Chain A
């Protein structure tokens, strides 16, 4: 905490602490809704609220039943003893397990597609020779801006005509398009600080274009590429509107499953899934922070 300067008046002291309190409340507003799902997901009752037992910290009031339900929901024989057959049953029939598999499959494919195309485009766009730079950039960023309903409705209308709706490919393409703006923005941001003379130095030492890219450019922009990829992944992982319009039940993803869970039967299984997703986002956030620090360190070296 910064010390207040000696000329601070009493009124300013009071205001300073009131201000801190206000900020504290806003931070609570930001973080509390996310933290509140954690204890609720261990509720033994099928409700979305705290029971008296939970408030008294009665161990009886807590259970893992909703986490087990993630595995068991939709299984042919959920009550069978734990065995290989049980595992294959949940792997093949569990509704949530299918959604998780779909989410990862679609997310990873969409991320690879959008990261590869987006990185190339960002490199091209950062060159000063690029004609119509501003126009092309605004077209490439527009998937982030256009309301998702319009995007999804347009894709639903168009993809049905070319037999892409209700296929994995259709959903992957949709998610890849929605993810590219994030890749472009993050990679462009890394390229802004990129020292062009490094490329010239490499060329003057006899390296070809490909070697220069692989050995000089790539290691420097890789943190931006990875964080762009993470953004693209989380975009796909969290996307539900396009899935609602384009996917058949076969391609249900986690958010789609949560959507119908909220609309049809509100069961704390959703909260258990939500808890797992919060943990996932904490992991992603940590990776991103580490990447940012690495990028700063690398660029610190290039600038000196």
Chain B
């Protein structure tokens, strides 16, 4: 037995003599370390295989050193040039030297491609001049302009000055239908070249339409599921969960089979005499097809959060409203709907976030006017190989999605996300 007198007089200590306060801090620290060490493996994995790759790509959106790597002399001279006066002989000397080297190293294609991204229509200018570069003699300014008059155009040089800067806002300018220029800063792109803002707008509109349709279709179904007795609602729930669990490509394929001009709906229309055989509806490979298929695919994401919120609303509230004299419509609008707002918010945001980044379905059933911004990003990644522009477009899309995600976390909380 410890003498109770000594324990009470000094600071309270544990069995081994250390103060209890310190002991508690140690224990808390240990348990915190234990919790962190459980999370660290996954966090490291997600950072290494997901977060860092995305940051690496996003960095490409503002940083592109392709031009300066292959044209060291010219980039050096361009940085000295103010971009306003006529290009002088030094610039032309550097140009010829770099073109000669690029031709030898077979890097001329990369240089030409990079400048062409900034100033379309200059690709052949570089490749053809590089071919002749060996034979050119001083003064280079005259002889270079002799090979192609375009070299006298100051805009070409300004474009080169822009591309020679590694850290550049020009890809974001392009992604927003503008151009970054030496003399005037940001200017708007010509009317016929403005495509990206329109595409962002279309993506936004299609996502909003899909969200609205999902809400329109999902709300009554979720209400039915929440108010039916458990046995029958469980049975009907399968009809919601089965599409949720079925492969995306299966559902897209099914919609092709249904909507195409020789498909089920058109055949049915012709058989019923609603439309003539030669004037079938074009329901797919356009925006209509994209909207229908996306609504079908995302509908469960709306129904499930709505259902889980509606399930918690006691039916007695509605009955109380009725007993106080409200009509059924009145009771529904004034009492029931306000309580489902969290579900509407959760489902709507989730559907919108998923819709705005959709790629597969628009690519397969979208045709020309059903393409979304994701399809453009994939195009620049895989076909035009303008990765920096893809990164800039992706950066804007990602910023939008992360903003929505932040709102979602703030309002609903990601901990409350439920699946099935």
Residues of A that sit less than 8 Å from B by CB = 1-2, 12, 15, 19-20, 22-23, 26-27, 29-34, 36-37, 40, 47-50, 117-118, 120-121, 123-125, 127, 129-131, 134, 136-143, 145-151, 153-159, 161, 173-174, 176-177, 180, 182, 185-186, 188-189, 227, 231, 234, 237-238, 240-241, 244-245, 254-255, 258-259, 262-263, 266, 270-271, 274, 277-278, 281-282, 284-285, 288, 292
Contact = CB atoms under 8 A, between A and B. Distances in A.
Contacts of B254: 33-34, 36-37, 274
A138 B405 contact: yes
B300 to A, nearest CB: 8
B53 A137 contact: no
A267 to B, nearest CB: 11
Which of A161, A177, A227 counts the most chain B CB atoms within 10 A?
Answer: A177
A156 B32 CA distance: 36
A255 B41 contact: no
B165 interface: no
B220 A49 contact: no
Contacts of B155: none
A266 B35 contact: no
Contacts of B353: 145
Contacts of A270: 253
B297 to A, nearest CB: 10
Contact of A37 (B228, B257, B378, B387): B257
A237 B247 contact: yes
Interface stretch (B43-51, B100-108, B125-133, B187-195): B43-51
B381 A245 contact: yes
Q: Which of A29, A47, A180 has the most CB of B within 10 A?
A: A29
B64 to A, nearest CB: 13
B39 A23 contact: no
A262 B256 contact: yes
Interface stretch (B9-17, B114-122, B172-180, B238-246): B238-246
A128 B419 CA distance: 23
Contact of A153 (B31, B32, B57, B250): B57
15 contacts: A31-B239, A31-B243, A34-B254, A36-B264, A37-B254, A120-B41, A125-B35, A149-B357, A149-B359, A150-B377, A151-B50, A154-B58, A180-B46, A254-B247, A274-B249
Given A149-B357, A245-B381, A278-B250, A33 B46 contact: no
A80 to B, nearest CB: 30
Contacts of B57: 150, 153-154, 157-158
Contacts of B264: 36, 49-50
B75 interface: no
Contact of B32 (A19, A20, A131, A259): A131
Contact of B249 (A32, A142, A147, A258): A258
B97 interface: no
Interface residues of chain A: helix, strand, loop or mixed (majority): helix
Interface stretch (B79-87, B142-150, B156-164, B394-402): B394-402
A258 B32 CA distance: 47
A47 B264 CA distance: 12
A136 B46 CA distance: 11
A148 B353 CA distance: 11
A15 B245 CA distance: 33
B277 to A, nearest CB: 13
Given A29-B217, A36-B258, A146-B398, 13 more contacts: A23-B224, A117-B45, A121-B43, A124-B38, A138-B409, A146-B402, A158-B56, A180-B45, A258-B247, A263-B364, A274-B250, A281-B242, A281-B245
A149 B380 CA distance: 11
A154 B56 contact: yes
B417 interface: yes
B266 to A, nearest CB: 9
B247 A274 contact: yes
Nearest to B250: A274
B251 interface: yes
B255 interface: yes
Contacts of B242: 31, 34, 278, 281-282, 285
Given A2-B227, A48-B256, A177-B49, A37 B250 contact: yes
Contact of B247 (A32, A125, A161, A277): A277
A159 B53 contact: yes
B35 A129 contact: yes
A203 B260 CA distance: 64
Interface in B200-242: 217, 220-221, 224, 227-229, 232, 236, 238-242
Nearest to B60: A157
Contacts of A241: 359-360
B42 interface: yes
A124 B296 contact: no
B359 to A, nearest CB: 5
Q: Which 8 A-B pairs give the minimum distances between C-beta atoms?
A: A147-B357, A124-B38, A158-B53, A121-B42, A33-B254, A154-B54, A124-B39, A154-B53
B296 A30 contact: yes
Contact of A48 (B31, B47, B49, B257): B257
